[in-house]
Amino acid sequence: MGYRVGIAGITGYTGVELVRLAASHPELEVVLGAAGASAGQPLSTSWPGLQGLTELDVESIDPERLAACDVVFLALPHGHAARLAPQLVDAGVLVVDLGADFRLRDPEAYARYYGLTHPCPERLPTAVYGLPELTRGQLAQARLIANPGCYPTAVTLAALPLVEAGLVSTPLVASCVSGVSGAGRSPGPRNIFCETHDSARPYGIAGAHRHTPEIEQNLGCQVVFSPHLVPMNRGMIATVHARLARPIAAAELQELYATRYADEPMVQMRQDAPGTADVRCSNRAHVHVALDAERATVTAVAVIDNLMKGAAGQAVQAMNVALGLPEGLGLPLHPVMI
């Protein structure tokens, strides 16, 4: 018998991706889908393409109903999950929060960047950050998983081997681009067609973006982070520039990355610079690193699908680890090419 799954926030982009992934996961059955809106309607009303895949009706978000599940994914705006998660965890549910409520260990940083006093700061030490490449050992015992942000996932995977080896002088510089789905499904100036088509723009620069403290928490150093929104549906590139703290040969640098990610099923090292189409709809990150010996710098690139390795796919990957299942179970490893 598999695990009974509930999804709160099921009508959003990450919620519907979780439905799609669960349908191909042999150990999961989505038994409850909840959302603040659309309650009482079939899920296929919001997403007609799901007809025949699921017959779920969307429910209102009811903690008691969610507590009857084995696993609950909270795909909700920040501030909402922290009010639901404690009750669910106490009921024995494995909770995966795809929002920001449990990512930052410092409640003051949460208040500064998200504009809210954290509803349950006493629970922050119990949450395990859900990046298996960084916290796999801790995830094996997790009951509350803080799913990473999309930008922090990409930047961390690009820079982690350099930082772990003590090779870089800080701050790091991370220039990133994201598809428009990263802004969510609710229409607004940042994601309506006429504002995004045929246009790219930076936003949240100079330390203003909410993912800045999460990236710095992961890497343990300062990062100059500059995100950009570009006119594509999905996909993310993180290009990280680092000044070397000591000399390193190009072959040694390549070996450093190859060794660090050799046993990581969701990271593929590339000899050439990858593009977002290489990971579209897959849960893999493609990573490339290059040495500029003349300028004593390293450039590392990671590409991910922001809705997969940057959101829903990573949530399932972390859940698999927490449940003792094969890490890649139910996850697509190869892209939709065209």
Catalytic residues: 150
Do 250 and 291 form a contact (C-beta atoms < 8 A)? yes
- Residue 107 identity: P
* Chain position carrying tokens 């700061």: 121
CA distance 86 to 67: 11
**Consecutive H or E run containing 152:** helix 150-164
Backbone angles phi, psi at 2, to 5 degrees: -85, -170
How many helices (H) and strands (E) the chain has is answered by 11, 14
> Which long-range contacts (C-beta less than 8 Å, at least 24 apart) are formed by 322-328?
322/94, 322/128, 322/139, 322/140, 322/141, 322/142, 322/143, 322/145, 323/3, 323/27, 323/71, 323/94, 324/140, 325/27, 327/132, 327/265, 327/266, 328/265, 328/266, 328/283
DSSP run (H or E) holding 212: helix 212-219
Cα(237)–Cα(247) distance, rounded to whole angstroms?
A: 27
